[in-house]
Amino acid sequence: MIEAAKHKPETKRIAMDLQAEQMAEWKLAEIDPGLVFDMFRLNVVDQLSQPAFNIWLRYAREYNPGGGITTLLETLKHRYTDADLSRLLIAAKQDEFTFDLALDLQIALANLWLVRRVRPEYVFEWLGLHRLHRGVRNLYKNVEVRTWKEYAKGFRHETELGHMELIDLLRHYYKDKKLSSLVVKAHHKSPQYDWTVRLMHDLVVRWIGEGKSVAYVREKVGVAGVFKYDRMLLELANGSPVELKL
């Protein structure tokens, strides 16, 4: 109840004061975060557990401020699967009071995955990137997309396994219509980002390689995208090799 009240302007200040008092009492009584974890029944991961998880996250950090991110992550790793922990941290980043801590933990978790050589396609799902159609509209602003890109880059550097392209994983989960909409919106909202240009380029190249018609590509890219890729489309129509310098 306290956590939910923090997100309403009329009750935010009172809720924050109550939560601070509650955590101060726990700390004064030297209540171990593990006991608080069990009290909140945080081993059950569902939508109702998120507010309590956010409270616990802050308390665990305050209870042992010198423990660092690594210590806190180890505690969480013993209690959650990779998928559940990642989902909880993503949701915790939606809360301004736990955003920084959740982000630090997510980065540390990704580094741990890299040490374990977890394949990028698994990380892709754990970061929730297979559920973009459920509300994540701004592809270019998505922190998880950037996290995955850095992870895939690190994975390629650390292993001799093949490079996994973001566009190929996105195509695995999304139909052309939905994916083209996500990519076009991302590019139009952030034309200064090279990676959104690259993503658009990769998508069009995939279509061309599959023998999609000029009309099909024009329809998916949209009117605003026709000019940028006009040369590519003309080369396709003429049967010439396709290459776009970024």
pLDDT per residue as tens, the chain (246 positions)? 444 544 455 554 555 566 677 778 888 888 888 888 888 888 877 766 788 888 888 888 888 877 789 889 999 999 999 999 999 999 899 888 889 999 999 999 999 999 999 999 999 999 988 876 554 455 656 788 888 888 988 898 887 766 678 888 888 888 888 888 877 777 676 655 567 777 777 888 888 888 887 778 778 776 555 445 555 555 655 555 444 443
Q: Are 169 and 121 in contact (CB under 8 A)?
A: yes
CB atoms closer than 10 angstroms to residue 104: 16
- Rounded to whole angstroms, the Cα distance separating 108 from 99 reads 14
Dihedral sign (CA 219, 221, 223, 226): negative
The alpha carbon of 88 is separated from its chain's Cα centroid by a whole number of angstroms, namely: 11
Environment class of residue 118 by beta-carbon count within 10 Å: exposed (0-12), middle (13-18) or buried (19+)? middle
- Rounded to whole angstroms, the Cα distance separating 74 from 141 reads 29
Percent of the chain at pLDDT above 90?
18
Alpha helical stretches, state H, the chain:
2-5, 12-28, 33-39, 49-63, 68-79, 82-92, 99-115, 120-126, 143-158, 166-173, 176-189, 194-209, 214-221, 223-226, 230-238
Contacts of 20 (CB under 8 A, 6+ apart): none
The model's pLDDT over 135-156, given as tens digits with 9 standing for 90+, comes to 445 565 678 888 888 898 889 8
Backbone Cα Rg of the chain: 22
- Kindly list the domain boundaries of the chain, sorted by start residue: 2-174
